[in-house]
Amino acid sequence: GAVVSQHPSRVICKSGTSVKIECRSLDFQATTMFWYRQFPKQSLMLMATSNEGSKATYEQGVEKDKFLINHASLTLSTLTVTSAHPEDSSFYICSATTDNEQFFGPGTRLTVL
């Protein structure tokens, strides 16, 4: 099946700094990419939908100025957590879609100290 990668797999940062997470579709071009957040023992929560060349669509309650999404190409989307705080510590997962299938990345564990 298609492969989606995320980088880094885990990151620890200080409060107030910004962190960028990359999501790549390795062997296919993704028309749409999604970003999810998952807190411990909870389900995945959709944060935003990202389409190449256009602005991301954010779910209700997700701050677009805090979670910057850039979808510069059909194989790369980035999520930047700006001015991170401890409450932003979570597992961030991206997914990439073709016309009718969705493939998930391995996730990025963010810890904000």
Partner 1 sequence: LAKTTQPISMDSYEGQEVNITCSHNNIATNDYITWYQQFPSQGPRFIIQGYKTKVTNEVASLFIPADRKSSTLSLPRVSLSDTAVYYCLVGDPIKAAGNKLTFGGGTRVLVKP
Which one, 10 or 85, has the nearer CB to partner 1? 10
CB 79 within 8 A of CB 23: yes
106 binds partner 1 (CB under 8 A): yes
100 binds partner 1 (CB under 8 A): yes
107 binds partner 1 (CB under 8 A): yes
Which one, 89 or 102, has the nearer CB to partner 1? 102
104 binds partner 1 (CB under 8 A): yes
Q: Which two tokens stand for residue 101?
A: 């299938």
Backbone φ and ψ for 20, nearest 5 degrees, come out as -110, 135
Backbone φ and ψ for 36, nearest 5 degrees, come out as -120, 160
User: CA Rg, the chain, in Å?
Assistant: 13
Q: Give least dist CB 26 to partner 1, A.
A: 14
For residue 90, the one-letter residue type is S
Q: How many other C-beta atoms lie within 10 A of the C-beta of residue 59?
A: 14
74 binds partner 1 (CB under 8 A): no
Q: Which residues bind partner 1 (CB under 8 A)?
A: 1, 4, 6, 31-32, 34, 36, 43-46, 49, 51, 91, 93, 95, 97, 99-107, 109
